[in-house]
Chain A
């Protein structure tokens, strides 16, 4: 009898252990290829060239002449780019969700920019934005520019270039946000919206009172993913204006790691910038979740 109980207990314990065993390889993988480099980077950011503990790496980053411009430029790109992308993506998702004739082709066309890597997007737009590029040619063809008229898209102030970066980034990223929002919209039961109309609501009332609240968790996911990606923008910037002309945070990491790797300060600067970007990304994500009420709901659910 006792033996049967023991066997039963062992079987139960075995059953409980199996999921952990299955997760173990993934856990090892993460420790080796994710946690280890992250911890290593963190340690390096507090280590001097002589191997001693130091805060000097951070002092160097904060006093770097490009730090504040990089922080400012990144913030502007994040705020304007994410806002623009969200509203356009939502509009497109709502439009495609109405399933009008040809909406499938429209969906396909809007998805094309998402398939392009950032470097190709940069090259494509750079070719268009040069003085004799395809954008000016198109504008001339459409009669918007007079024959021989030119717009110098890539000349002028940093603000003009920032606006261009926001537009180019939005062009590439809108499809990915749109597809997440569209998936969310298609998961909303038709009956809930129909009930809204039955009770006298018009399209905008139903959208504001029913659709958007039901879509809020999808919106959270989309915005949080986009927020993180927007903070990490760099490749499009360097394809169009190169390093250091319009500094952004991640571009600074790449600059010290790839462009001037042999400077004695480069490893310290690169690791300092890396940790600062990680902290900013984490704070931005938490702040957004807090503002959007994600934590409040969790507490209510508990």
Chain B
């Protein structure tokens, strides 16, 4: 027994020593080099396999959390990059709050292990305010083959310095099962639908089918705040960052006009009967339990791509001023103290190539590419159709980003909108309870930092 223990200890020590003394691992990549042939004047480019030291890049992301998106991003987007550069990308999905906590700990201990983050634009300020992100100007300004849509510069660029490059955007679209088209109000058109028509449509379906068919996320703290606020923006509520009242808001006159439409749907039993247990409309639309929804463009893309002949897609409905939509984006930033800045810049360059932009955003359900040149590659398949509709919304909508960092906790803000939904919209009589809205607005203001 003693002998065995001694042998085990020696083996362990040996293994540790070997690991410590091991030379840095190298990987083989195909590199394009220019070769000048001897005795000739021709210079030709050949591909040659060269060994380069291996590098690992840690990318924390709050995007691509659905498993299908994650698999696509890793296998179809990151893998070719790894083969091209020899850089291994450790891709990790992290919740927004957890990502910030992780970076806080790394900065506090001086042990920075995260090289890049893919964050939601509403949270860019969390990182830029702390001064943790490196400037990307030097690299981005050299790009002459791509231009970043300026819609999200308000959060990505601070005092003239760019800290984030958006790589994907999202807006809200309308999707209808074709069976619902039989009830479409006279004169209504999916591409120019108004919220009044949307509400009448929902009530007509419920009356005709004896069952409500509108889907929104009834489980608290999911997407209802965005689905509802898109309608408030359509009635002229200014986007975040404007003087109050602005998004998020519960009781301004523009918001009340939007509540009236949703209350009409509630009073007409237009919502799915099991609406309070819905956390994502995709499955319900695919199973035909729901026929109608205004929801996130990537989710619409997922449903539409599953059977394009079964669904019709349009931009988010209009209010009395314009289309309204929450417009979000996810962007890449490089942690300033990262030991792998060069590798991170290579990944940034790769992910913003127009063809990669389109491939990535299409492959993950129909997100909107943020590089203008990527749109030149659009074709005719169902996901291209979704991207085109999303572009209409992005170009024409009264939009808003999410001012997450203005509030103590965004989940608590979401909860207030969910409360109004269950108390006034779903269980109300179709009238507006202004006292309830005012009380919730007071609670909302109390959540501001």
Interface membership of B221, Cβ < 8 A: yes
In the complex formed, the residue of B with least CB distance to A156 is B273
Distance between Cα atoms of A140 and B288 in the complex (Å): 17
Given contacts A132-B288, A261-B97, contact A240 B277 (CB under 8 A): yes
**Contact of B272 with A243 in the complex, beta carbons under 8 Å:** no
Interface membership of B260, Cβ < 8 A: no
Tell me the smallest distance from the CB of B120 to a CB of chain A, in Å.
15
Specify which chain B residues have a CB less than 8 angstroms from the CB of A242 in the assembled complex. Answer: 219-222, 277, 279
Distance between Cα atoms of A260 and B221 in the complex (Å): 10
Per the 8 Å Cβ criterion, residues 166-219 of A in contact with B are none
Distance between Cα atoms of A50 and B289 in the complex (Å): 51
**Contact of B288 with A154 in the complex, beta carbons under 8 Å:** no
Interface membership of A8, Cβ < 8 A: no
Interface membership of B276, Cβ < 8 A: yes
What 1/0 flags go to B209-223 for Cβ under 8 Å of A?
A: 001000000011110
Interface membership of A244, Cβ < 8 A: yes
How many chain B residues touch A (CB < 8 A): the figure is: 25
* The one of B274, B408, B409 that contacts A130, using a Cβ cutoff of 8 Å: B274
> Mostly helix, strand, loop or mixed at chain B's interface?
loop
Distance between Cα atoms of A243 and B284 in the complex (Å): 20
Interface membership of B411, Cβ < 8 A: yes
Specify which chain A residues have a CB less than 8 angstroms from the CB of B284 in the assembled complex. Answer: 130
**Contact of B273 with A241 in the complex, beta carbons under 8 Å:** no
**Contact of A130 with B220 in the complex, beta carbons under 8 Å:** no
**Contact of A131 with B411 in the complex, beta carbons under 8 Å:** no
Given contacts A130-B287, A130-B289, A242-B221, contact A259 B274 (CB under 8 A): no
Given contacts A242-B221, A244-B415, contact A261 B274 (CB under 8 A): no
Distance between Cα atoms of A276 and B408 in the complex (Å): 26
The stretch among A11-19, A23-31, A36-44, A262-270 that forms the contact with chain B is A262-270
Distance between Cα atoms of A67 and B98 in the complex (Å): 27
**Contact of A261 with B287 in the complex, beta carbons under 8 Å:** no
Distance between Cα atoms of A245 and B218 in the complex (Å): 10
Tell me the smallest distance from the CB of B7 to a CB of chain A, in Å.
25
Per the 8 Å Cβ criterion, residues 260-300 of B in contact with A are 272-277, 279, 284, 287-289
**Contact of A261 with B221 in the complex, beta carbons under 8 Å:** no
Tell me the smallest distance from the CB of B416 to a CB of chain A, in Å.
11
**Contact of B408 with A264 in the complex, beta carbons under 8 Å:** yes
Seen from chain A, the residues whose Cβ lies within 8 Å of a Cβ on chain B are 126, 129-132, 150, 152-155, 240-245, 259-264, 266
